[in-house]
């Protein structure tokens, strides 16, 4: 499979053009079909992906590792604490050396204040594609799976469809802001009207908001920001509500918790879902804080697509690996 995406990195959501994303998802749907029919699709025989994790994961690790194996290759799980990174291996060593051992380098590096610098620095020295398994700014593979799921449920023509990207309360930990940022960047390109809802302290990064507004203007779609969860849910076709930290406002954990706790009523429950359209889908990248961020009734209800969304991580990632690493 020799393609125009061969050798390309995927670090930011807009690294691939709209047409390239469409190609990725066409391949993802084909791979999903092939897997369901047990058709062979070993496009990456003898290829090896390095999967370097600086942060925990259930879905990302599982889906990348299963995906590369299903493509006939192998995934090498590398936990950063078991490397010599703490003893001096810089991004140059990782890019130069892993780039010579492996056929792709996937990295999860979500540290606050680093942005996507670590990934960019590795990519500068790597001769093979660098794939972003989530950084502080973007979660592009989650967003590809989200778009694939939306197409499955709502069709490919998303004009006049309203997606609500909403903050939700969670008590567990300050979750990264990469998922909402990826969504507001990517969804306007595919025709969705976007409503972003969050309390005043939970803003996204200003540069991401500027880019998202520019994408919405280019695509001719609406892009609104509100501070009321109920207002945001009204007549929505797609409800995507999840927690993220007040990290643009404060990096002090105690202050952050005090700010977050003011908004414990920002939960997705049955009453709120009734404000959306009857056939609205509920999405969440997981993990979710059940009955804090979202009620069991909603996440396990008929409108929830969270398990299809998690499954589509597998197919979307296999498509990108096949197109970039073959």
Interface residues toward ligand CP, by CB under 6 A = 57-60, 134, 142, 285-286
- Nearest to ligand CP of 51, 219 (CB atom): 51
Q: Nearer to ligand CP by C-beta: 5 or 283?
A: 283
d(CA 169, CA 262): 9
Which residue's CB is nearer to ligand CP, number 142 or number 268? Answer: 142
Q: Nearest residue by C-beta to ligand CP?
A: 60
Element (H, E) at 299: helix 296-299
Q: How far is the CB of 306 from ligand CP (least distance, A)?
A: 10
- Smallest distance, ligand CP to C-beta of residue 108, A: 8
Q: Smallest distance from the beta carbon of 292 to ligand CP, in angstroms?
A: 17
C-beta of 134 vs 174, nearer to ligand CP: 134
What's the burial of 44, exposed, middle or buried (CB within 10 Å: 0-12/13-18/19+)? buried
| Strands of the sheet with 74-79, listed across from one edge | 74-79, 48-53, 104-109, 130-135
Q: How far apart are CB 271 and ligand CP at their closest, in Å? A: 26
Alpha-carbon span 201 to 242, nearest angstrom: 15
Does residue 89 contact residue 83 with C-beta atoms inside 8 Å?
Answer: yes
Nearer to ligand CP, 57 or 227 (CB): 57
Give the Cα separation of 257 and 263 in Å (integer). 10
What is the C-alpha R_g of the chain?
19
The beta strands (E) that lie in 139-229 are given as: 162-167, 193-197, 223-226
- Pairing status of strand 162-167 against strand 104-109: unpaired
Cβ nearer to ligand CP, comparing 246 with 285: 285
Shortest separation between residue 97's beta carbon and ligand CP, angstroms: 25
What whole-number distance in Å separates Cα of residue 170 and Cα of residue 243?
6
- Is there a contact between 194 and 151 (Cβ–Cβ < 8 Å)? no
Minimum separation from the CB atom of position 134 to ligand CP (A): 6
At its nearest, how many Å lie between ligand CP and the CB of residue 48?
Answer: 21
User: What sign results for the dihedral spanned by CA atoms 159, 189, 63, 244?
Assistant: negative
DSSP 86: G
142 vs 324, which CB is nearer to ligand CP? 142
């Amino acid at each position: 499979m020799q393609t125009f995406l061969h050798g390309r990195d995927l670090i930011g959501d807009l690294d691939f053009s709209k047409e390239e994303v469409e190609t990725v998802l066409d391949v993802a749907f084909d791979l999903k079909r092939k897997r369901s029919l047990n058709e062979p699709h070993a496009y990456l025989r003898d290829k090896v992906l390095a999967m370097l994790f600086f942060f925990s994961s259930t879905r990302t690790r599982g889906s990348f590792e299963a995906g590369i194996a299903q493509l006939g290759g192998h995934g090498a799980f590398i936990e950063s604490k078991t490397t010599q990174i703490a003893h001096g291996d810089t991004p140059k060593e990782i890019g130069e050396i892993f780039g010579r051992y492996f056929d792709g380098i996937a990295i999860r590096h979500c540290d606050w204040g680093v942005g996507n610098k670590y990934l960019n620095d590795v990519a500068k020295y790597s001769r093979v594609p660098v794939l972003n398994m989530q950084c502080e700014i973007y979660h592009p593979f989650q967003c590809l799976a989200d778009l694939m799921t939306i197409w499955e449920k709502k069709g490919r023509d998303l004009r006049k469809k309203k997606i609500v990207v909403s903050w939700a309360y969670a008590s567990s930990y300050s979750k990264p802001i990469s998922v909402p940022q990826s969504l507001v960047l990517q969804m306007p390109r595919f025709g969705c009207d976007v409503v972003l809802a969050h309390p005043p302290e939970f803003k996204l990064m200003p540069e991401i908001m500027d880019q998202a507004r520019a994408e919405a203007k280019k695509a001719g779609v609406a892009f609104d920001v509100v501070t009321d969860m109920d207002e945001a849910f009204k007549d929505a076709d797609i409800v995507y509500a999840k927690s993220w930290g007040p990290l643009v406002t404060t990096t002090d954990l105690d202050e952050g918790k005090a700010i977050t706790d003011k908004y414990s009523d920002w939960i997705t429950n049955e009453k709120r879902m009734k404000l959306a359209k009857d056939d609205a889908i509920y999405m969440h990248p997981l993990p979710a804080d059940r009955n804090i961020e979202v009620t069991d009734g909603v996440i396990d209800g008929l409108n929830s697509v969270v398990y299809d969304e998690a499954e589509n991580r597998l197919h979307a990632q296999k498509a990108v690996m096949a197109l970039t690493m073959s």
